[in-house]
Amino acid sequence: MNPTTARTTVGIIGGGPAGLLLARLLHRAGVDSVVLERCDRAYVEQRQRAGILEQATVDVLREVGAGERMDHEGLVHHGIELRFDGRAHRIDFPGLACGRSVMVYAQTEVVKDLIALQLAQGGPLLFEAEVSRVTGTDTDSPVIHYRHEGQDRTLACDAVVGCDGFHGVARNVFDGPRVFERTYPYSWLGILADAPPSYDELIYAHSERGFALASMRTPTVSRLYLQVPNGTDPASWSDGQIWDELDFRVATKMNRGAIMQKSVLPMRSFVSEPMRSGSLYLAGDAAHIVPPTGAKGLNLAITDVVVLARALAHRQATGETALLDSYSADSLRRVWRAEHFSYFMTSTLHTAPDQSPFETRLQLAQLDRIASSPHAAAELAENYTGLPLRP
């Protein structure tokens, strides 16, 4: 056989958490796959992204054998705290969301765990494999064209799954998708600090000077965010200014330490419909992006591939395509629910540049409603911890 050509059942473009988990789920179901990742392993394992895992994400990682280190090092959180208008109100997740909770465990660590499993037990995982195009998606035998180890190669598949993000190749194969998007008039200045958190659970703070989020990576490392104008240069904020502003917005004297990393994260919502084109399927950021306020991005990608893995395994076992045929519609219902929740959290907690006092009072009224109504608090808790997947 020509070494530059190969065949598999499912070709997966992108070796982030979605692509790696999909490969793991398919392997356990007896479905062959190959993962093509354009970056090297070191880069993939260091990409900083989300760190809040929903209950369903935690459960599936345990199910596929990627839960041992997560359960040892991850931090289980049973609630969050809302701070606004001089008040603090805790949202009790288990009490309001049928016992569910979330876990703080960085995406970098999820990726490391899944890579180790894939290399030890799964199918091929090729790093530095640059995909140039996908052809034949209108047939039952699509082909991925890529370059690896200095050679142009092809991978013939029964199905291709694009887990390669917003700027990846897979999304651009679609012919005339419907695109829905919103760009928010503010960004997040995020820092990673060598300082133990000043709090046991995440704090979401609404203030007259903008939003702040107090989070953590480990018991000794804090992950903190400030709302800033779009286009902000992170170097324009000194360490002292950052700590002083966090103290004011969170209304807590923060534990201070060396700031190891500063970055600015733009805020946007994006959905591309449909999530399927013939034998090509999209998952994760290739199909949708949410602002980080609701902690949905990674979790939404995970639920995409859980649903898709079931459908692909079902087709191999039975020859039936009904689950694959409904993948896009089923996923988009869940995507739009997450988009709405993320929009709600973002618009309720942030201060727009041209915001009027009337709009601020509406925000405070909504936050007061959550603090005073178990029904409103339960709606937030259920969405934050993750709505259960349908069977």
Give Cα separations from 11 to 124, 159, 239, 254 (angstroms). Answer: 10, 6, 45, 47
296 is catalytic: yes
Q: Which of 204, 225, 281, 327 is catalytic?
A: 204
DSSP string, 353-388: TT--HHHHHHHHHHHHHHHH-HHHHHHHHHHHH-PP
Q: Is the link from the previous residue into 274 a cis peptide, with omega within 30 of 0? A: yes
Element (H, E) at 28: helix 17-28
User: What's at 144, amino acid-wise?
Assistant: I
What residues form DSSP beta bridges with 148?
Answer: 151
Q: What is the signed CA dihedral for 194, 72, 381, 341, rounded to 10 degrees?
A: 60
112 is catalytic: no
The closest of 360, 369, 343, 176 to 272, measured between CA atoms, is 176
327 is catalytic: no
The closest of 172, 101, 96 to 133, measured between CA atoms, is 172
Cβ of 154: how many Cβ atoms within 10 Å? 15
What residues form DSSP beta bridges with 203?
Answer: 81, 214
> What φ, ψ does residue 387 adopt, rounded to 5°?
-75, 140
Tokens representing 82? 């809302």
Cβ of 276: how many Cβ atoms within 10 Å? 21
Q: Which of 77, 206, 288, 350 is catalytic?
A: 77
The closest of 304, 303, 302, 327 to 314, measured between CA atoms, is 327
Q: Which of 146, 296, 327, 350 is catalytic?
A: 296
77 is catalytic: yes
281 is catalytic: no
Q: Is 30 exposed, middle or buried (0-12, 13-18, 19+ CB in 10 A)?
A: exposed
Tokens representing 259? 């700031």
> How far is 323 from 14, CA to CA, in rounded Å?
23
Residues labelled catalytic: 77, 204, 292, 296, 384
